[in-house]
Amino acid sequence: MSERLAGKVAVVTGASTGIGTGIARGLAEAGASVVVNYAGDRAGADRVVAEIVGKGGEAVAVRGDVSKAADVERLLEEAVRAFGRLDVLVNNAGVYAFGPFESITEKEFRRHYDVNVLGPILTVREALRHFGPDGGSVINISSIVGSRPLPTTSLYASTKAALENLTMSLSVELAPRKVRVNAVAPGHTESEGTAAMGLFEGEEGKRMAGNTPLGRIGTPDDVAPAVVFLASDESRWITGEIIRASGGLK
């Protein structure tokens, strides 16, 4: 564990698997105390906590559906109860389903926007009640498709475009309160979810890797360093930015 984020407390939503797990590990390795949020995968969250604690870090798992205001309120209250303060909020929880535009249903629309857009709105609103006089850092996890949409990603891509706009808007509104708001937009990234969908298998996976300037599919550990940077005082003069952690994809 390093001292880079020593004394800071971070909440990472949707941290029981995938990119969220990589971010939680990265923050803990930099010295932050980490709240590992999960909606349903308690076993996964417990594994992440055990890994962090086993390496000498501090972490707790807290259940909560970010699309529900009462859950969000409890999540951040438990974070402060566990570690005494709140410095960093990482809005990573998200859902995605790809398919032809005609396949989008009202139910799927609401599911995507409730988690991917309403969720960050609720968590930021609640975090403002807990950030101290020195402010805080909000880091929203977007996606390269927020600015570079692909076929069959219309619904998901639109939520990430909304999240990036929200990031820029909040960065201006919250700056007087010393709250910085930035986003990280991963490119093609291997995770449990993408593996289950088979997104990067076979020739299609080779094509996606080949279209990435750095020549491979990313991993959660490729995304985490950008989040650690934005959580740290090294980025104290940075707000309203979208960092593409995408291997060169624009």
Phi first, then psi: give them for residue 185, nearest 5 degrees: -115, 100
Phi first, then psi: give them for residue 89, nearest 5 degrees: -120, 120
Closest of 18, 13, 67 to residue 36, by C-alpha? 13
Find tokens 């870090």 and name the residue: 57
Tokens matching residue 219: 């991993």
CA 186, 191, 193, 197 torsion: positive or negative? positive
Tokens matching residue 106: 């009202």
Residue 91 CA, chain-centre distance (Å), reads 4
**Contact indicator for 14, 62 with CB cutoff of 8 Å:** no
**Contact indicator for 29, 1 with CB cutoff of 8 Å:** yes
Closest of 238, 225, 237, 173 to residue 25, by C-alpha? 225
Q: How far is CA 226 from CA 94, 220, 222, in A?
A: 18, 11, 8
Strand partners, 63: 38
Strand partners, 162: none
The answer to whether 113 is a known catalytic residue is no
Q: How far is CA 9 from CA 48, 59, 225, in A?
A: 16, 9, 17
Active site residues: 156
